Amino acid sequence: MTSKFLRLFLAIAVVLTISALAQTSSAATPSSPAASGAGAAPAGSTTGTKVGTINIQEAIFGSNEGRRDMDVLSKKLEPKQNELKSQNDELDGLKKQLSTQQNSLNEEALATLKKQIETKQKSFDRSYQDFQEDGGNQQQEIATRILQKMAPMIVKYSQDNGFAIMVDTSKPWPQSPVLWWGESVDITKAVVDAYNVQSGVAAPAAPAAGAKPAAPKPSTGTAPKPATPPATTPKN
């Protein structure tokens, strides 16, 4: 569900939110007489030297709160998923009928069947697009709300642990300039663990086996589950 748009939105949101937090934190720190003279550090600077990484998308949707809210969203969208699946099954049946009977149907019956398929396909495509947009917007709302609370923790953890630069690895290479990173510089798990303690949200129960399939995608007949964030690049 609109995973590319969500990643782009998160990238912009992270830059704006964390940059503002870093500058606010710096401005709130009283300057010493020495700092007010020549060679003073610019606003938002840090004494750290390390380069770190964090998968913002994984941190948001891997947190207990994120997992809980995505489960709620998935259940909320399930009726529409089932409706779309029924529409898609009906379309498949009509297309199979056309494929097997087109040589035996008269001209009028063939035209009627083709028109029926065309009308139902357009209706399905519109419904599916609305479903994708609605689910994507609600997923974005979840990400925004959690990021606003998580961002200060990212800034504080980075400052406290000597990181001068923190890179978001939500997008895999080559969409992201980060080709490889090691576990030792990745703070995703540390931030998620700290956020879980702060939020007080318990870990949601594991999904039951044999969960319902996702709504069908117009082009292929299947689609990823709307409430599931895209997979992330494995770290070495």
Q: Could you report the per-residue pLDDT of 99-121, keeping only the tens digit for each?
A: 999 889 999 999 999 999 999 99
Is 186 domain-assigned? no
The 8-class DSSP code of residue 184 comes to G
In the predicted structure, residue 33 carries a pLDDT above the cut 50: no
| pTM attached to this predicted model | 0.69
* Residue 141 and residue 94 in contact, taking contact as beta carbons nearer than 8 Å: no
Question: Would residue 208 count as lying in a domain?
Answer: no
| Measured distance CA(24)–CA(154) in Å, rounded | 14
Please state the domain count of the chain: 1
Kindly state the helix (H) or strand (E) to which residue 196 belongs, with its residue range.
helix 188-199
| 18 DSSP β-pair partners | none
Q: Are 145 and 17 in contact (CB under 8 A)?
A: no
Residue 110 lies in a domain: yes
Round to whole Å and give the CA distance between 17 and 139: 18
Could you tell me if 136 and 1 are in contact, meaning their C-beta atoms sit under 8 angstroms apart? yes
The answer to the question of residue 39 being in a domain is no
pLDDT confidence of 47, banded at 50, 70, 90? low
46 compared with 168, residue with greater pLDDT: 168
How far, in Å, CA of 234 to CA of 181, rounded? 10
Q: What is the DSSP letter of 186?
A: B
Q: Which amino acid is at 150?
A: M
- Asked which of 3-17, 45-59, 68-82 is least confident by mean pLDDT, the reply is 3-17
Q: Which two tokens stand for residue 158?
A: 């980075």
Average pLDDT over residues 69-89: 96
Residue 67 located in a structural domain: yes
Whether residue 188 is contained in a domain is answered as: no
**Residue 187 placed within a domain:** no
d(CA 89, CA 85): 6
Weakest mean pLDDT among 12-21, 111-120, 151-160, 221-230? 221-230
Please check whether residue 83 lies inside any domain of the structure: yes
Residue 18 lies in domain? 1-23+45-177+213-236
Residue with tokens 């117009």: 218
pLDDT grade for 225, boundaries at 50, 70 and 90: very low
